[in-house]
Structure 1
Amino acid sequence: MANNNARRGFAALALYALASCGPAPAEGDQDQPVMNTTAQPSAAALDARPSFPIDEVDARDLIDSLGAPWREPVADDTRADSFSGGYVRQMAFKGRSVGIYTLANAKVWNLQVRSGYGEQCGSGDDIAPHIARIYQAVRPGQSLDATQLATLQRGLTIEAGERLDLEGVRIKTFGTCIKLLDVRVGSDAE
């Protein structure tokens, strides 16, 4: 009985896969050029992508300013980021980690600060006091009001987290085992 069910399931899957195939190209379509779907955007297009007014060095200085636990990484790895054309720098500290995402021009477009590492759960208290300073670093001259700050701090205590979409920036906080502050360029960034 189970064998028949497996065969029926396989047959249904095969029919579904075949049904999703489009018709064969018409004779005239064979002369159409093939699009290169792996082409990367030009350097000018990558430089034009929205970013924060800080570069990787500024972001690293910002992380250093958060205090002693954030100053000396136990691991520091930078790798190419095919999504942005730039780089991702991942730094691990004792019980904490940071991700700095940059474009090819070294400008930061995403900054992630985490408390907790591996199997060790983190504490929202490692991140909450720094939310306002991190926001001010990526949006100079701007500040979070008390309600916005309280919302993001609350997000560090609940699994569903909280999200704020502000001018040029989207901020999310999550309160899972690994506490996360995710600050990235918003869709209306300048």
Structure 2
Amino acid sequence: MTQEADQQVVEQTLAWVRQFIVGHDICPFAKRELENDTIRVEVVRSKKLQVALEELAAELAWLDEHPDTETTLIVFPTLFKSFDHYLDYVDMADNLLVELGYEGVYQLATFHPDYCFDDADPDDAANYSNRSPHAMLHVLREASVEKAIAFYGDTAAIPERNIAYLSALGSVAAEAQRQACFNALPHK
């Protein structure tokens, strides 16, 4: 794939972060990182699970060397068409964090176009808090998460607020907004 195609995936991902995640206040911490330009987006086009794990390990090492980058979105536009296959990868990725000694240093948040919470109906609008344009892993610095939680206070209210908000918005509107990210133009 070309650099141009990868850049398009980056723009789609950042449009989703700007328009949906920040625009609907799904994550109250995302706006600051977006404004500070401390979000890295890495596109992994491999179709091999092992390569996806190697790319995660490489990204963790990269983050170690670049403390000014707050967080990374590793985007897989070609690998995880199946949500179940993606969840298998997430389990392996969590295990890799432990194996590499990164437990307590980094944590992973998960996003997929077909994301469905345990025991949720696939059509439940609440799933859209984690439905992204492409399958991705969000690598967060644990220390930053702890600092944000200390500043924010009761983060347990965030998922409850998102469920109520997205349920009121509805699946049709949420899906239309997710789809709009595919038409993203470069952000200036």
Q: Fold match, TM over 0.5? A: no
Q: Higher relative CO (CA 8 A, sep ≥ 6), structure 1 or 2?
A: 2
TM-score of the aligned structures, taking structure 2 as reference length: 0.29
Greater helix proportion: 2
| Structure possessing the higher radius of gyration over alpha carbons | 1
